[in-house]
Chains A and B, each alone.
Chain A
Amino acid sequence: MKAEAQALKGHLDVLLLATLQDGPRHGYAVKEALRAGSGGRFDLPTGTIYPALHRLERADLITGSWSVVDGRRRRSYRLTTKGERRLAADRGSWNEFAAAVTAVLDRTSAPWPATP
């Protein structure tokens, strides 16, 4: 099942940053990393990835550079130091949040007292 773009909206920034943690990628490769890394669940239209990357670049979280590949101009992005810090912070917050949700959903200890 493909996740709706709307559901991804609040997490798109950290996901895009995560796709760049192993090195520079261009827009299509970012999209493919997102799709492959999520087992196909996060399969956004490729064209909508680029404006999000531009916004992250304006926020100095990533930086882009042009090169020429197969006769085509290509823009690749890499994390900045600020982007690495943001990724680490957001990852920590997410892990705490996910652990809390999992603890509630997968509760195996004694049941909570019910209200009369």
Chain B
Amino acid sequence: MAGHPLIDAHLAQLHRDLPTEAVEELADGLNETYEQYLTAGVCPTEAATAAIAEFGAPDRIVAAFTEHASGRRIARALLATGPLVAACWAWSLVIAQAWAWPIPPAAGLSLGAALLSAVGVLAIAATSRSYRRTGLGLVGAVGVVALDTATIVLVLIAAPILVWPMAIAIPASLLRAGLTARVLPRLLNR
């Protein structure tokens, strides 16, 4: 059954914000809704208008996709748990007087800059109204795994002594990196 220009315009609007596969799936549902109205004897323009109303406005649909996006959800989870892990590390580094460690200043600055970048990227993914920007959550998640790994390696290499709060900070980082790395491949494939 042929489509309708109103339906096509609605789908074109969705296509601006959503991936092609998602729009294909939405197109099937929207066209089926339209056809149900046609079958019930409604004229094509009224059928298209009713189908679009039943389907939902593009803004609302994009907002729903954005809310359920894997990048957004992982970004929110990492931002919610981040302060706990950061507090464990801050406690460890203060007790161990990390400022006196034999680490090149550039390494410390690079780690700090990478941490700020990861937090910034995750914050964009967690709050943006754009579906496409939620993809940054996956980039931020990769960054968090790399940061956790780099921090642990740096501490084990550079710390003259290990202090007991590290017995909390290191497992916390390992757990976060492990869980994130476990779900990332599945999310990147979808």
Contact = CB atoms under 8 A, between A and B. Distances in A.
Contacts of B173: none
A46 B186 contact: no
Max chain B CB contacts within 10 Å: which of A46, A70, A75? Answer: A46
Contacts of B73: 55
B182 interface: no
Main secondary structure of the interface of B (DSSP, over half): helix
Nearest to A44: B56
Interface residues of B, number: 27
A101 interface: no
A49 B25 CA distance: 11
B31 A72 contact: yes
Contact of B28 (A26, A48, A52): A26
Interface stretch (B59-67, B116-124, B153-161): B59-67
Interface string A47-73: 111111011011000000000011011
Interface residues of A, number: 22
Contacts of B32: 28
B60 A47 contact: yes
Given A57-B190, A58-B70, A50 B54 contact: no
A58 B31 contact: no
Nearest to A60: B186
Interface of A: 26-28, 31, 45-52, 54-55, 57-58, 69-70, 72-75
